[in-house]
Amino acid sequence: MPDETSTTGATIELENLTKRYPGSSAPAVDNVNMEIKAGEIVIFVGPSGCGKSTTLKMINRLIEPTGGRIRIGGEDVTDIDPVKLRRKVGYAIQSAGLFPHMTVAQNIGLVPRMIGWSSSRIRARVEELLDLVGLEPGEFRGRYPRQLSGGQQQRVGVARALAADPPVLLMDEPFGAVDPITRDHLQDELIRLQHELHKTIVFVTHDFDEAIKLGDRIAVLREHSHIAQFDTPEAILTNPADDFVSGFVGAGAALKRLNLTRVRDVEITDYPTVTVDDPLQSIFDRLRESGTNEILLLDRRGRPYKWLRRGDLMRARGSLARAGTLVHDTVTRDATLRDALEAVLTDNAGRVAVTGRRGEYTGVVDMETLMNSVHELLDADRLEAMEHQHELEEARTERTHAEQEGGEEEAAR
Amino acid sequence: MDFWDYLGTQHQQLLTDAYQHASAVFQCMVVATLIGVLIGVVTYRSGWAGNLATTATSTILTVPSLAMIGLLIPVVGLGVPPTVISLTLYGLLPIVRNAIVGLRGVDPALVDAARGIGMSRTMRLLRVELPLAWPPILTGIRVSTQMLMGIAAIAAYASGPGLGNEIFRGIASLGSRNALNQVLAGTLGIIVLALLFDAAYVLLGRLTISRGIRA
Ligand SMILES: Nc1ncnc2c1ncn2[C@@H]1O[C@H](COP(=O)(O)OP(=O)(O)OP(=O)(O)O)[C@@H](O)[C@H]1O
Ligand SMILES: [Mg+2]
């Protein structure tokens, strides 16, 4: 468990950041300006070769910028000793980059050892971090990287990056080399971690779905790391700045929007239910008074079991054993609206039961609710994006105004 | 006198020679390893410097050992100095080459990771690059040692120590009763020493190569 002394995020400011590789005429990164708030996850997405990695690696000066400034937590780090800087900035890369000749514990303990922690403190920290990334310390501490699966290596890589509790974490396609299912797990894990740690994370990917899932904000980059759009996933999905961004968002933006909202955020309605222990007559009565065509049958533990239609009951002839259709799919309150839609479409009832932690019935979401919610969401997003744009424009005119005035003063002098 | 009788009467002298042979090779190997790894570390990151180091050390190897010792005698005199110098020079090549190959073979992603988590240049070298390059370097040391075992025998020509004396005495008195025995004893002694050293290196490898990268 991270204790209350754990460091939370710091702001990152990039100012006119530029990188020109020797021998190439065009800059790989051209004049990037960006402000990243403390504690947020910012995702860089863009086509291959657009300069994502170069921009990221300039933040910890693995690549020295040829122009511009970098500020972390307000401190200008452009000219400080890069080795000192990097010990304060966690760094995780694709396929983990674990040192094969060191055990898991040694890999994680590297940075703490470099900054002079005592060995007992390092040992405790290693345990804590392995716990945090979901690996059992007793089992994994002494293993070598080659004795781990790709996903486990990646977890250790994240643990190593977090070892000295840096306020900032840089991740360059960390989940790029694992299979889709493991990647999904690792993403969930990162979200959970971030809920506890509140680091400032800059994360590079070229998978837009990953960006939507993880990002508080997404920076869509085009060639030379020019920022095509830097905004929340919602805003980018509903209001892409230009054709380049919409091309990157890809088809089905409205469907992707469903991934951003949870069942808990929409109206969960009540539905008439009966349990398997109820006598047949009372089930009839309940159905009649509910005014619906269908009723949900719960099992003895209160879990959704079958959908019963009027006709089913007629044909039941005294026993419920073979009447009705089994409930195929349920969702929890944490499921995304996309999962819910999927369930509604596959279950022929036109609605899906929402369950609590132990699988017990808590309500239903139906097609109509989903449609209305999506419309509302999209409308709200559009409105917000418009307001946002308006604000930006206002800020811009103000700035040019100020600049003009400044220029006049200058001229007067 | 047959060979076994010869060993029986001469074992004192043979053991002394063998000990001195082994000791000379061992000490020269230590020096050659230190210098060879150092050359590797200094040159591996530059294309031309690395190639220059490899070429220079392999040029040394093309000089016949007898000629090398002959050339050294007028400069450093007889006895131990020409032996030590020539053995060390000959020992360099496999170590330098394997050190360069090994250090260049370290996965760039790992070097990137080492830099990224804030390791200084020296720390990167000592904690990451050298340990990962150590298996090929150790192979180089093994090859060098085998080679020096034979070359050290030539050192007797310059009144150097070792089993070479036995061989040269035999060659000088060819036709005499013990000539063949002397050559045979010297040669077999060198082979036995070489095998013992090799066994020691296998043990050294077990002790110094991390389990995480052992084949
Ligand atoms: N060391 C280098 N020397 C010269 N050019 C380089 C170097 N590293 C990268 N580049 C160039 O800079 C540009 C940006 O590279 P970068 O690695 O930042 O791209 P990226 O967005 O991370 O791409 P990918 O998604 O493929 O990882 C590319 O055109 C690349 O060819
Ligand atoms: Mg990249």
> How confident is the prediction for chain B on average, in pLDDT?
90
* Chain A residues whose beta carbon lies within 8 Å of the beta carbon of residue B112: 62, 93, 97
Res A342: pLDDT: 84
What are the CB-based long-range contacts (under 8 Å, 24+) for B195-199? B196/B22, B197/B22, B197/B25, B197/B145, B197/B146, B197/B149, B198/B142, B198/B145, B198/B146
The pLDDT tens digits along chain A (413 residues) read 444 456 788 899 999 999 999 988 899 999 999 999 999 999 999 989 999 999 999 999 999 999 999 999 999 999 999 998 998 899 999 888 999 999 999 999 999 999 999 999 999 999 999 988 889 999 999 999 999 998 899 999 999 999 988 999 999 999 888 888 888 888 888 888 888 889 999 999 988 888 988 999 999 999 999 999 999 988 888 888 888 888 888 766 777 778 778 888 888 888 889 888 888 888 888 888 887 888 899 988 889 998 888 888 777 766 777 788 888 888 888 888 888 888 888 776 788 999 888 888 999 998 888 888 888 877 877 777 777 777 777 877 877 777 676 555 555 55
Task: Tell me B157's DSSP state.
Answer: G
B212 with A161: Cβ contact below 8 A: no
Is B27 domain-assigned? Answer: yes
Q: How many CB atoms lie within 10 A of CB B132?
A: 22
Q: Please give the pLDDT value at position A207.
A: 87
Distance from CA of B197 to the nearest CA of A (A): 26
| pLDDT, tens digit (0-9, with 9 covering 90-100), for B112-131 | 999 999 999 999 999 999 99
For residue B112, give the CATH number of its domain: 1.10.3720.10
Are the beta carbons of A130 and A152 closer than 8 angstroms? no
Q: What interhelical angle do B130-154 and B65-76 show, nearest 10?
A: 80
- The answer to whether A61 touches A85, Cβ cutoff 8 Å, is yes
- CA of A261, closest CA in chain B: separation in Å? 36
Closest CA to A99 of B111, B121, B138: B111
Q: Where are the beta strands (DSSP E) in A26-133?
A: 29-36, 41-45, 67-72, 75-76, 89-93
- Contact residues of B toward A, CB < 8 A: 109-110, 112-120, 123, 127-128, 131-132, 210-213
Quick check: CB of A53 below 6 Å from ligand 1?
Answer: yes
**CA end-to-end distance (rounded Å), chain B:** 49
B8 within domain boundaries: no
ipTM: 0.86
Which amino acid is present at B150?
A: G
Instruction: Confirm whether B177 is domain-assigned.
Output: no
Domain contains B2: no
* Structural domain boundaries, residue B56: 19-161
Within-domain flag for B124: yes
The answer to whether position B203 is within a domain reads no
Q: Is residue B195 part of a domain?
A: no
Rounded Cα–Cα distance for residues A238 and A381 (Å): 6
A49 lines ligand 1 (CB under 6 A): yes
Owner of token pair 């999905």: A237
pTM above the 0.95 mark? no
Q: State which ligand 1 atom lies nearest to the alpha carbon of A19.
A: 12
B72-109 confidence digits (pLDDT tens): 888 888 888 888 899 999 999 999 999 999 999 999 99
- Per the CB < 8 Å rule, is B117 touching A110? yes
CB atoms within 10 A of CB A304: 25
Number of domains in chain B: 1
Residue B191 inside a domain? The answer is no
The interaxial angle of helices A104-114 and A150-162, nearest 10 deg, is 20
Instruction: Yes or no: say if A93 and A160 are a contact pair by the CB < 8 Å rule.
Output: no
How far apart, in whole angstroms, are the C-alpha atoms of residue A341 and residue A368? 11
pLDDT of residue A15: 94
Å from B78 to nearest chain A CA? 46
> What is the number of helices (H) and of strands (E) in chain B?
9, 0
The minimal CB distance from A91 to the residues B117, B127, B132 is found for B117
Residues B7-47 pLDDT 10s: 888 888 888 989 999 999 999 999 999 999 999 999 998 88
Binary contact (B210, A111; C-beta < 8 A): no
Contacts A–B by Cβ distance under 8 A: 66
